[in-house]
Amino acid sequence: MMFQKLAQDTVRISDKAARFSGRVALRVIRSAADEAIPQVPIPPAGKAIDLPGRGVTHVLDMPGPTPDAPVLMLMHGIATTGALTWFSVLDELSEHYRVVSFDQRWHGRGIRSEKFSLDDCADDAAAVLDALGIDKAFVAGYSMGGANAQVMWRRHPERVAGLILCSTASHWEGHLGERVFFRSLRVLNIGLLSIAANKVAHQGEKVIPADEVAMDGLRQWLLAELRTTSPWSIPVVMGELSRFDSTKWIGGVDVPTGVLVTGKDHTIPTDRQRSLGAAIPGTIVRESPGGHTSLIFDVKNWKPLFLELVDDVVAQAYDEAA
């Protein structure tokens, strides 16, 4: 009886926490001043693609200036989507590259599954490339997407032409407070996984197809896109991120790599981001002065550094291949 009540209380608290985190994120965008939100076009709607044996995900595929333009695959952060993470740079990138992004599983219009793992996300990325007939891509990842990009290189090195790792690290679990928090979260997730998976699946059934969403400006699009990810995905994804640790193998990365550090990042400690850059031989490191959400709320400083870093990594790859 005591354990049954504990389980019920845990679910109730988790449900409230998930709903609260979702409301906070929505409130941030609603309250942001117009000048704080990048004034860029709303991204194209993209389309649903069935990945054989894996599930249906949502893919944004923006053609580059020429059929043989380099391919840039963008991996998004936690609780967001491909378009929501990268919307501020899509237009500029597509002037030089074929740009591909997709909603990773348990996010947005991505695959719904019984579990979430970074290995599955990396395999999904390779399957997206297969579905689009793409042999190899430069892979850029932000935050969680940076971890996914590292895992993709580890599992599918032949598909990765280069890496651009932004506001990310080789591991999430560090000091004592983090270890206690993440290990408690993983224990909690053991009992909540099936419930969270059902909540995420239910949310997915209610999501409106991207090409049917009524648009009334960029802010409204941001809010609609944010609502496509269930807050219930967050504790499970965070628990999996806490298991991620590439420190033993990241030094073996053998493709051109760039690391973009956010200098006032309170989400992923800046020293961990710098350590990631130092661990990969020959890495090009740039540093933006803002915080973790600089790619949206400090675009004037972050965007030029990111665009330049992408160009530098691609140029290095072409020079090495010549």
Residues 6 or more apart whose CB falls under 8 angstroms from that of 141 comprise 74, 75, 147, 148, 149, 150, 163, 164, 165, 166, 168
Provide mean pLDDT across the span 204-225. Answer: 81
The full set of domain ranges for the chain reads 2-317
> Which CATH code fits 2-317?
3.40.50.1820
What is the structure's pLDDT at 1?
A: 40
What is the structure's pLDDT at 214?
A: 65
What does pLDDT average to over the chain?
88
Q: What is the torsional sign of CA 76, 110, 152, 279? A: positive
What is the structure's pLDDT at 118?
A: 97
What is the structure's pLDDT at 51?
A: 98
Output the pTM of the full model: 0.87
What is the structure's pLDDT at 6?
A: 37
| Token digits of residue 303 | 């965007």
Instruction: Identify whether the C-beta of residue 251 lies closer than 8 Å to the C-beta of residue 275.
Output: no
- The more confident residue out of 193 and 19 is 193
